[in-house]
A and B are shown apart, each in its own frame.
Chain A
Amino acid sequence: MTITAQPETAAPRAPVLTLQRMMPALLLMPCLAWISFFFLLPLALMCWRSLTAEGFSLAAYSTLFTSALYAKVMLTTVKTASIATVLALSLAYPLAYALTLSGGKLRALILVFVLIPYWVDIIVRSFSWLILLGDNGIINKMLMTLGVVHTPLELLYNPFSVLVGMVQILLPLTTVILFGAMLRIDRTLIAAAKIHGAGGWQAFRTVFFPLSLPGVYGAALLVFVLSLGFYVTPALLGSPRETMIAQTIMVEANQLLDWEQASAAGFVLLVITTLIAAIYNRYFSLDRLWGGSDT
């Protein structure tokens, strides 16, 4: 018997849409519908509203870019968000590193302590700082009892209290993001550094830290964007001088009922945030946060 190789006959293939091929689209449907109706549609309406105060006009936007108030609030917002981001990262980094080093039960314990505050409501957490930092708060009482100070320190309603509150709220998320990024660093690289002459600190400095930077950059963006939109914390713990953009939008919409202006401000905030994310992504690929390749 001889067997010869048969040329594969090209069977005419009908363009059928099997269930299998439709599956990804079907799975996306519910989420897509939800986002379209509750996010994209309101967003479009908001954009429309900002342009149609009395007929079509860009008045709301020109106010936004000419008013000294908005410039000041925007500057405060970016400044506060930047400082909060840097503080949250520097506090979360050692914590996340400790998490990667520890194993088993200790790791679980630290994670629980990191996450419990995360599950507590932001308003509750912000209020609790009032109790701690107030004139009759625990810290001032303690300092006065000890005789360190005679009149209460002004710990509330200033940039300090706003940052303390914000950093505390940002810390769990920052820690978890950094921890996730650090977990993906191959531990044998540290072993390779050590066997080739690096002590503990040198191995950290020359190998672990540089490899953790993509995670740090990614976390920085997420935390910064999140900080830009803070509302409750600066409202409760800050003075009018610490007003951030979200509060201004709230005042426009709720008290002044100037919905056109509020919509315009909201839209500009969205555009700025998206721009920052896009530019940032160009230089520090965010893929690395979700486990994409390091290239």
Chain B
Amino acid sequence: MDQSAATTRTSGAQVRLRKLSKTYGTTAAVDDISLDVPAGVFVSLLGPSGSGKTTTLNLIAGFLTPDSGDILIDDRSVAEVPPHRRNIGMVFQSYSLFPHMTVADNVGFPLRMRSKLTRDEARKRIAEMLALVQLSHLETRYPRQLSGGQQQRVAMARALVSRPRLLLMDEPLGALDRKLREQMQAEIRHIHRSVGTTVVYVTHDQSEALTMSDVVVVMHHARIAQIGTPRQLYEAPASAFVADFLGDSNLLPGTIAAVDESGYAVKIGNGVFVHAAQSQLKFSAGERAYILIRPEDMTVHPAGSAQGDGPQSLAGDVTELSYHGDVFWLSVAVGQGLLKVKVAREQGGAFETGRPVRVSWSPNAARLLPLADDDLRAGERARS
């Protein structure tokens, strides 16, 4: 067996939340959450601020005590266990490196606190961790002498040095600029793969959650709105909230006029009918619902052209055109509202504001979502 892999690799812990609740005054910060995180998985808690993701993380860490429910790490209930006995590593939003300790002392802190390694073994382990995060040359520096990205890496090394089976990360990349953030995302993924620990990662950045995670848990109003792989969430959201929070979306309200095995005919006012595809979410005729169409799934044609006619299209006028380098964004007024359309650079140049156009999409690109913005009900509908 490869020696270096054997020294840094651990097996991840399995984490289970059972009907977890935490209330501040009369506001529920976390409301009856149940979640299974399989061993070794990278799971993101994604949601807007105030959705309960950070409270959930602090409950797992032990900084907060749940009002009810239980937390199991590897089948052991830890609800009553203080943070320092939970054997968890954590990376904080502001890194929270100890300012009075060198990089090496920061990284060695968990070893001094909880392992019975000899001085030489500890030194070797610190060197290993610093090599993993590529900071071996900075071990005698103090945190204030490091850049944001370097501090971030030291925080990673400190969190992983005692080989915890669970790593918590609280919006660790929030303070970095975009280029560095993307580089760190790749690095964190790489480190996760090489150490094998279970990661619970809190973020409000949907693209970060999509690119990094094995599983994403979308949170909204102290509850779980949807759990799934990044593709499941983006391509088959269970509610308008999830659809809108992950990526850009067009949501058109309408009434279902007819249902057959190919999909739904939906009336969106003024006698205009639009076709929506079948999915796991079932609706019946007469119900009101949202039609979801992603901006990148639509094509724009000049009005009057033979292309793009029929129930998978809408006529409208271009009201806005903005250039984003790789793509154009078009706003098209279609009577019922504005459609956001993402158009490749070479096509976008052909349009001007004020021009009548026709927007079309492929049959499977339009899906129905429940109209009610109550995401819990949407979540239950998805499960049943």
Chain A residues proximal to chain B, CB less than 8 Å: 186, 188-189, 191-199, 202-203, 206-207, 210-211, 294-295
Closest-by-CB residue of B relative to A185 is B99
B377 an interface residue at 8 Å Cβ cutoff? no
Flag whether B159 is at the interface (Cβ < 8 A): yes
Q: Are A196 and B63 in contact (CB under 8 A)?
A: no
Q: From A191, which residue of chain B is reached at the shortest CB distance?
A: B63
Q: How far is the CB of B54 from chain A (nearest CB, A)?
A: 12
Whole-angstrom distance between the Cβ of A190 and the nearest chain B Cβ: 9
Give residues in B with beta carbon < 8 Å to A: 61-63, 82-84, 86, 88-90, 92, 94, 96-100, 109-110, 112-114, 144, 158-159, 162, 168
Cα separation A195 to B97 with both chains bound (whole Å): 13
Asked if A202 and B96 sit within 8 Å, CB to CB, the answer is no
Q: Which of B61, B99, B162 has the most CB of A within 10 A?
A: B99
Residue of chain B at shortest CB distance from A186 = B96
Given contacts A188-B94, A202-B113, contact A194 B82 (CB under 8 A): yes
Complexed CA–CA distance, A202 and B84 (Å): 10
From known contacts A192-B90, A294-B144, A295-B144, infer whether A197 and B96 are also in contact, taking CB-CB under 8 Å. no
The reply to whether B96 and A194 contact each other, CB–CB distance below 8 Å, is no
Flag if B92 contacts A196 (CB, 8 Å).
no
Known: A196-B113, A197-B113, A295-B144. A210 touches B90 (CB 8 A): no
Q: Which of A191, A203, A206, A294 sits near B99, CB closer than 8 Å?
A: A294
Q: Are A195 and B98 neighbours in the complex by a CB distance under 8 Å?
A: no
- B100–A210 CB distance below 8 A: yes
Q: Which A residue sits closest to B96, measured CB to CB? A: A192
B113→A195 contact, CB < 8 A: no
Contact B90 A196 (CB under 8 A): yes
Q: Which residues of A contact B113 (CB under 8 A)?
A: 193, 196-198, 202, 206
Known A192-B90, A294-B99; judge A198-B63 contact (CB<8 A).
no
**10 shortest A-B CB distances, which residue pairs?**
A197-B113, A197-B114, A196-B110, A192-B96, A194-B83, A195-B90, A188-B96, A198-B113, A195-B83, A194-B84
CB pair B158–A196 under 8 Å, yes or no, is yes
**B171 → chain A, closest Cβ, in Å?**
12
Residue of B92, B110, B168 touching A188 (CB-CB under 8 A): B92
A293 and chain B: residue at smallest CB distance: B144
Chain A residues positioned under 8 Å from B100 (CB to CB): 210-211
**Known contacts A189-B96, A192-B92: A197-B144 contact under CB 8 Å:** no
Cα A195 to Cα B96 in complex, Å, equals 12
Look across to chain B and name the residue whose beta carbon is closest to the beta carbon of A203: B84
Taking the nearest CB of chain B, how far is it from the CB of A139, in angstroms? 43
Question: A197-B110, A197-B162, A211-B99 are known contacts. Are A191 and B83 too (CB-CB below 8 A)?
Answer: yes
Residues of A within 8 A of B86 (CB): 195
The complex places the Cα of A100 from the Cα of B302 at a distance, in Å, of 67
A189 to B168, CA, bound (A): 15
Residues on A with C-beta less than 8 A from B83 are 191, 194-195
Once the chains are docked, how many angstroms separate the CA of A198 from the CA of B86? 11
CB-CB < 8 A to B96: which residues of A?
186, 188-189, 191-192
Q: How far is the CA of A196 from the CA of B144 in the complex (A)?
A: 21
CA distance A265 to B103 in the complex (A): 51
B82 touches A196 (CB 8 A): no
Tell me the bound Cα distance from A197 to B84 in angstroms.
Answer: 4
B99 close to A192 (CB less than 8 A): no
Cβ contacts under 8 Å, A211 to chain B? 99-100
A-B contact pairs, 10 of them (CB 8 A): A186-B94, A186-B96, A194-B84, A195-B62, A195-B63, A196-B162, A197-B110, A202-B84, A202-B113, A203-B84
Q: How far is the CB of B79 from chain A (nearest CB, A)?
A: 16
Contacts of A295 in B (CB 8 A): 144
- Separation in Å of the A282 CB from the closest CB of chain B? 20
Shortest CB–CB separation between residue A77 and chain B, in angstroms?
Answer: 34
- Provide the residues of chain A in CB contact with B99, threshold 8 Å: 189, 211, 294
Which residues of chain B have C-beta atoms less than 8 A from A188's C-beta? 92, 94, 96
Chain A contacts of B159 at CB under 8 A?
A: 196
Q: Supply 4 further A-B pairs (C-beta < 8 A) apart from A188-B96, A192-B92.
A: A191-B96, A197-B109, A207-B98, A295-B144
A41-B180 Cα distance, complex, nearest whole Å = 59
B61, B84, B159: which has the most chain A beta carbons within 10 Å?
B84
B84-A198 in contact (CB<8A): yes
- Does the CB pair A195–B61 fall under 8 Å? yes
Residues of chain B within 8 A of A196, CB atoms compared: 84, 89-90, 109-110, 113-114, 158-159, 162
Bound Cα distance from A192 to B94, whole angstroms = 11
Measured between beta carbons, the chain A residues less than 8 angstroms from B62 are 194-195
Q: Which of A196, A202, A210 has the most CB of B within 10 A?
A: A196
In the assembled complex, the CB of A96 is this many whole angstroms from the nearest CB of chain B, namely 19
Task: Indicate if the CB atoms of A195 and B88 lie closer than 8 Å.
Answer: yes
Q: Chain B nearest CB: distance from A225 CB in Å?
A: 26
Q: How far is the CA of A163 from the CA of B61 in the complex (A)?
A: 47
Distance in Å from the Cβ of B155 to the closest Cβ of chain A?
A: 9
CB distance from B169 to the nearest CB of A (A): 12
Check A195/B94 contact, CB under 8 A, given A211-B99, A211-B100, A295-B144.
no
The docked-state distance in angstroms from the alpha carbon of A295 to that of B99 is 9
**Complex: how many Å from CA A57 to CA B114?**
70
